[in-house]
Amino acid sequence: MGASLSFPEVDLAGKVAIVTGGNTGIGYETSKALARMGAHVVLACRSEERAKNAIEKMKSELAEAKPVSGEDIKIEFMALDLTSLASARDFAKAYLARNLPLHLLILNAGIAMIDPLQMTDDGLEKMFQVNYLGHLLILLYLLELLKSNGPDVRVVSVASAAYKMGLFDLTNMDGSKSYGRAKFYGNSKLYQIMMTFHLQKKLSDSGISFFSLHPGIVSTEITRGFNDSKFWMAFTKASRGIGVSRNAEKGAATTINAAVNPEFANQKALYFEDCKAVVPGKHARNESDHEELWAYSVNLLRRYIDDDCLAKLNEMGLTIRADSPSEAAAVDPSKQESQDVKEKADD
């Protein structure tokens, strides 16, 4: 509520940025700011119509503002549906096929407070996949490209202070034992922060900075996920009333600052709130949990990672076994262990 939300105006001419969910809310304001600074911005989102409308609106708004770099505004759309892991893979491979560089990857798209429990066609809890796992798959495909454009390339994950409500529990990743909208939203945001720390540790000499952040309580389309809840709607209304809630422009400030501020060049595994680097809670920094989350996640993703990507990841020190199970069903670890025993017996 009195936080100073600001970021420097930096010349980003020659830089390329991907912003998932860049057509609305925080993603829209982030994309517009990066484009104003001269970056070539790719809006990765589901609806081409909505993306193109957003691009036209951005260009109209930016026509009234002098671009920082003096460059022409470059904003474009590429299709991405994070409810489909195949779509996430196809987006990343389509981007690689264009032979564009990449300097900023803003993992912004998200959904919140889904109730009742919803599963994707991939068999995964929806917030887990959209907020975390689909983004991880894109990142794995684009890591080598990011590394090749370093140093000081950045991956920025828009998480949330809701991670404090999260719990890493491998026995209930799919919500089959128990499910609560706030808990599982918090879980998905916790995983984003955990993976930021894990990847930074594994790729500490890569020239890639992995950041995550809490944008604040922001009034955007993400609140549509709890329009049916009297409690959460009352909370949102009260937040606006006492001045805690931010509009999308102010909500994007922490993302933009993490992405462009020269002060953070080549910094490692930072977590931001109110445009400042702070230390997240201990449960987000547990290295043993990081390893377990990594193993669980890549097991789910293995069938979407082609051999070329697999080889490059292994060369970078991100070990993914070529013989990892290819069926990416969201399963209880005890059931997976039983299945592994059965497969060994069948051999």
**Whether 185 is catalytic:** yes
Query: Residues 272, 211: contact at Cβ < 8 Å?
Result: yes
Residue 297 has pLDDT above 60, yes or no: yes
Cα–Cα distance for residue pair 217/110, rounded to 1 Å: 14
262 prior amide bond cis, ω within 30: no
Distance CA 264, CA 200 (A): 14
Q: What is the pLDDT of residues 242-255, one digit of tens each?
A: 445 789 999 999 99
**Order of all β-strands in the sheet with 74-79:** 74-79, 40-45, 16-20, 104-107, 153-158, 208-214, 270-273, 276-278
Q: Average the pLDDT over each of 106-110, 152-156, 225-229 and give the range with the smallest value.
A: 225-229
CA angle 229, 194, 31 (to 5 degrees): 70
Q: What mean pLDDT value characterizes the chain?
A: 88
pLDDT digits (tens, 9 = 90+) for 254-277: 999 999 999 999 999 999 999 999
Q: Are 159 and 189 in contact (CB under 8 A)?
A: yes
As a whole number of angstroms, the distance between CA 91 and CA 104 comes to 16
Sign of CA dihedral 125, 130, 131, 133: positive
Q: Which of 91, 52, 108, 121 is nearest to 222 (CA)?
A: 108
Q: Is 176 exposed, middle or buried (0-12, 13-18, 19+ CB in 10 A)?
A: middle
Instruction: Render pLDDT for 45-86 as a digit per residue (tens, 0 to 9).
Output: 999 999 999 999 999 999 877 666 656 899 999 999 999 999
CA separation for the pair 26, 24 (Å, rounded): 7
Out of 28, 95, 185, 296, the active site residue is 185
The pLDDT of residue 229 is 53
- What are the tens digits of pLDDT across the range 208-220? 999 999 999 876 5
Confidence of residue 323 (pLDDT cuts 50, 70, 90): low
Question: Does residue 182 carry a pLDDT above 80?
Answer: yes
